[in-house]
């Protein structure tokens, strides 16, 4: 499958060097029936370099950002 992420069809809503956190956020967004794509730009030898980006359809970007904010705030509350 060829994916053209530079088009206006997809919007980047989150990026992090923490691949596990990004995967959990992806699962949270998908649980709301929103299509997601992870783009892993981390170095395969040194994974501390680069980031994992989360892309969603442009028309779902705002709701996805709200889901992410809620998820991160919930995570912060659980660790405190």
Q: How far is CA 13 from CA 2, 27, 56, in A?
A: 21, 14, 7
Residue pair 63/32 in contact (Cβ under 8 Å)? The answer is yes
Residue 2: the pLDDT is 44
Q: How many C-alpha atoms does 30 have within 13 Å on its Cβ side?
A: 12
Give the model confidence (pLDDT) of 10-67 as tens digits.
Answer: 999 999 999 899 999 999 999 999 999 999 888 777 767 889 999 999 999 999 999 9
Residue 4: the pLDDT is 56
Q: Does domain 10-79 have CATH number 3.30.70.260?
A: no
Residue 75: the pLDDT is 65
**What's the Rg (C-alpha) of the chain?**
13
Q: Is the per-residue pLDDT at 5 higher than 60?
A: no
Domains in the chain: boundaries: 10-79
pTM, 2 dp? 0.79
Q: In this structure, what token pair is assigned to residue 67?
A: 């889901």
Residue 1: the pLDDT is 38
DSSP state, residue 48 = T
């Amino acid at each position: 499958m060829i994916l053209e992420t530079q088009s206006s069809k997809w919007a980047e809503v989150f990026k992090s060097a923490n691949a596990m956190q990004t995967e959990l956020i992806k699962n949270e967004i998908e649980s709301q029936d929103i299509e997601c794509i992870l783009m892993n730009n981390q170095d395969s030898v040194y994974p501390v370099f680069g980031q994992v980006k989360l892309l969603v359809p442009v028309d779902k970007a705002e709701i996805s950002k709200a889901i992410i904010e809620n998820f991160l705030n919930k995570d912060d509350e659980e660790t405190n």
